[in-house]
Every structure is written in structure tokens, then in C-alpha cells.
Amino acid sequence: MCRCCHVSDCRASTRRRFLRTCAAGAALAGLGPLARAADEPKPPEGKVKVAVVFFSNSKGREIWPYPGYDCPKRHAEILKALGDGVPGVEWVPVVVANPPDMAKALALKDQVDGYLVYCVTLSWGLTNSAAQLGKLRKPLLVADEFLGGCGNFLVGSAGMYRAKIPTTAVSSTRLEDLVAVARLFADVRKPGTTPESFARQCEQAYRKTFGTCGEMKCTPDKVALTDVGKCLEQLKAGKFIILGAGKGGVERDFLGVKGIYVGFDEFKTFYDKVEPEKAAQASRKWTAKAEKVFDCTPEAVTKAGGVFLTLLELMKKYGTNNVTANCLGGFASGHLPAYPCLGFMQILDEGGQGVCEAMPDDSVSMLMARVLTGRPGFVSDPALDTSKNQICYAHCMAHTKAFGPAGEANRFRIRTLHNLDPRGACAQSFLPEGYMTTSFRTNVGAKTMVIHQAKAVGNLDAPRGCRTQLVGEVRGDIGKLFCQWDHFGWHRVTVYGDVKEPLIELGKAMGLRIVEEA
């Protein structure tokens, strides 16, 4: 039996310890039960009423599950599941598409006994909105749509835990798991019920739905590690370009690694010199290797070839093979004629480093993994599925050589990004399964590193979220994985190999505080 199966005792969970602290603090502060003062409105008679607040807006371009997602249909499915599964509660739906809509949910405070927030879509403007409801001192439950509202859900929920707002966060592909927890709303009028006691009961009920930890025996994978001292030397000598996210020519130190800001104006100077035939030749190499090409236009792939050649020239000028780019913003503003995703794939496969979204934290993390193991990292937006004890690492840019430039390439497709824009092209990579992976991220400013592990068990091909969707079975306590996203952001960097301890050793040598998040 895997050692993580012995961690299911709720009392061992960081989240449970936090909730007990909240309960003790509430008692000391004299908050007591949810009884109202004499001058406050009395609770409504009849059925318990709970507001179901849908964070839901599919009109944006850069959203999950995807632009134009049928939100009303999903609302109806969730309400039906709650109505059928918890008949003793009246569910009052409220749709919050934008921050101003929160006024509608807050206005119900004297009419409902509690709140259930469901993050349907990726709505960053609403990341901290659920915390407003927590301050009303009502029983609160938060849930998300898998490969839907995961980003603001994870970051917002972790922020509430850190702010000591009592709640339980539910992330499962089974609606019945949410229903099992939501049944506790039926008893919120019982004497002695507090937001803290409700959260504790929800946590206990939720953990009973968790999938068991499977076999952690993995395919043998001996990693050739570099000595930590040599890693430090390479990092100190390392540098990377940050394209389109700061004043060109400025240099910054990131834990000893030099970051060089390059403007889009300089990028354009190099791009205008790219020969069209060479760009087409680069694109033909990708399409010849791809298992399939669809959704995107041929022009998108050809322009991506031009962007790739431009990045090579910029890296040559600055003496590095590492780059991170403001890809989404650059394309949306017209400064990038194509997304750099396909070029990043080739750079990674050849031993360099291409990183999405102009992220120094991701860049330093990937450099740490590469100097230590010789392998590329995979930056992703994770989604949790506690019903299977799994985490899905999803992104629209990935490598195809998980074991380094000399390793075998896995299959991939070329298609549009998550935003379904045919003018953009990326690789949907089907990464190897059966291997242990190590995922981490370094918060450069806070000098802290978060880390966990999962066994790669396959790839999804879901029409929602980002294109590459590596699925891992969590090694450890998946319940703890809800707690760190506000401090470390949504991204994680995944490297193939059972290298948690070596990465921790390297992190400590760099002066980092280590947080094991599962």
C-alpha cells in the first residue's frame, strides 16, 4: 500500500488544523453560534435557503472551459443535482459574471442561510470575490468546474484559508461529491452551528469522497543528476530574455539568474528580416512530425515559424538559449504575429528553454530543473480531481522530449489554443505515462519553493481547458494541495523523474524555504 494512503486522517491535514484554529479564535472572540442579535432580521421560516452563486461568464476569449461554453445549461445541471440530492434545501441561483454582480449575491444575506459558490468559468476578476461572502458569517462552501474555473477557484480558496475565512473547497469531476458535502446545509439552523463548525463538517464529509491512492510503482527512470555545486555555478552564469513585459534593455537579478527585458519593438526589427521561405520551412518540419493538424489555419503555423526564427536571433544576440514571452498579451495587441508555442516546443526539445506568459518565477524554476536533471520542465495550469486522487497539468505549450534532447519524442498534434482562435497554433503533446514526476514552483520574491509529486497515468483529450493535459496520481495528501495557490500562483513546473529530494537540496542551497504541498 502506498504511503500516501496512510495520510487520510483529517486531523493530519493542514486545512483541518486551520479550521480548528478558526473555531478556537471564534470562541475567544465571543462570536459563538450563528444566532442573530435581537435587532437583526430573523431567519426565514420553512426550508433552509442557500444561495448558489455561479461565477460564470463565457464571453471572454482567454477563458476556460472555452469561449461560448453553455453556462446556463451547466447551471441547470448543477441545480438539478442539488435539488434531487438535498430536497430539504431551497437553492437560490445567482449568476455573477463580473465583480459588480457581487452586489446581487451580497444582497441576499438576510434571506438565505448560507452560500455555495460554484466557479464555472475562469474569471480572474472574481478571484477574491468569494471572500466577501465569507465575511458575512454565513456557512460557505466553494466548488469549481473541472478544467473550468480552476484558476480563480484555487487561488481564491487558498487566499481564504490564509485569511482564516472558514470554508471548504470542493474540486471533483463527480457532482455527487459536491452533493454529499452540500447536504450539510440542511442542518445549518441547528443550535450551535457556526461557520467554523460547518466548515469542519464539510471537510470531514468531503474527504470521505476522495479516491484512494493507487499503485505508485513506476517505470524505471534513472536520472543523471548534476552536482548541486555545479548547478549553482550554472544558475549564477545563466540568463534569460523576458519579451514584451518590461522596459527594453533593463536587467534584473532573479535569485542570481539574470533576466534581460526585451521590447516588442526590437522583436519586430528582427521579425521583419525573416525570409518567408525559411519561416515556411520551419513550419513544414512541425507539420510533418505532427500526428494531426487541425482547427488552426496554415498561415498561423507559418507565422509561428517566423516567430521561432526571430526568437533564435534574439537569443543569439543576448547570448542565451532561454526566453519567456508575453504571448497572450503580445498576440492580442498585435505585437506578436503568432503565438510562440510551436517554437518553444522546438527550443525545449533541443535543450533550450521557452516559457509562456513572461514568467520569471517559471523561468527560474525550469532552469533549476534543467541544470539539475538535463530535462525540460512543463509549465501548466493544474486542475484537481479528488474523486480519482488526480491532478491534471494543462497548458497550450509543451515539449515532446520529456527525458531530454537525447530521449525519444512522444506524439503531438498541432491545433488552436484554448481560446479556439484559428489564427493561433500550439502543440497538444501526449506526454509519457507510467513515470514519477516532480512538480514545483519558486516564488523568487519570497525566496520560497513549493513542491509535490505525482505518477503520470495518462493524458486527457478533453475539449476544455488548455490543450496538453497530463494526468498525474498524487503522491501524498491531495487535500493539502488546496492551500498554497495564493502564495505561488496557479502555475506549476513539472519535470519527469523522482527528483523531489534533489530539488529540495538545490532549493535550500539557493536559500529557499521549502513547502511540501501534498
Task: Answer yes or no: same fold for 3-207 and 228-516.
Answer: no
- CATH class for the region spanning 228-516: alpha beta
Q: Could you tell me the CA-to-CA distances from 182 to 80, 118, 192, 489 in Å, in that order?
A: 13, 12, 18, 28
- Interatomic CA distance for residues 66 and 463, integer angstroms: 8
Q: Which residues in the chain come in under a pLDDT of 50?
A: 1-41
What is the per-residue DSSP string for 304-327? HHHHHHHHHHHHHHHT-SEEEE-H
Q: Which of 476, 457, 451, 456 is nearest to 2 (CA)?
A: 476
3-state secondary structure (DSSP) of residue 127: coil
Grid coordinates representing 436?
A: 514519477
Q: Which of 491, 487, 492, 486 is nearest to 127 (CA)?
A: 486
What pLDDT, on the 0 to 100 scale, is given for residue 44?
A: 53
What pLDDT, on the 0 to 100 scale, is given for residue 442?
A: 98
Q: Which of 154, 182, 161, 150 is nearest to 79 (CA)?
A: 182
Q: Which fold has domain 3-207?
A: Rossmann fold (3.40.50)
CB contact at 8 A, 504 and 38: no
Q: Could you tell me the CA-to-CA distances from 115 to 46, 168, 221 in Å, in that order?
A: 17, 12, 47
pLDDT in tens, 165-200: 999 999 999 999 999 999 999 999 999 999 999 999
- Interatomic CA distance for residues 384 and 388, integer angstroms: 9
* Gyration radius of the chain over CA positions: 24
CB contact at 8 A, 377 and 263: no
Cell 475567544 -> residue:
28
CB contact at 8 A, 303 and 279: yes
What pLDDT, on the 0 to 100 scale, is given for residue 46?
A: 87
3-state secondary structure (DSSP) of residue 349: helix
Angle, CA 162 vertex, CA 179 and CA 213 arms, to 5°: 50
What pLDDT, on the 0 to 100 scale, is given for residue 144?
A: 98
What pLDDT, on the 0 to 100 scale, is given for residue 40?
A: 43
- Interatomic CA distance for residues 408 and 322, integer angstroms: 22
Q: For the chain, which residues make up each domain, given as ranges?
A: 3-207, 228-516
Cell 440530492 -> residue:
85
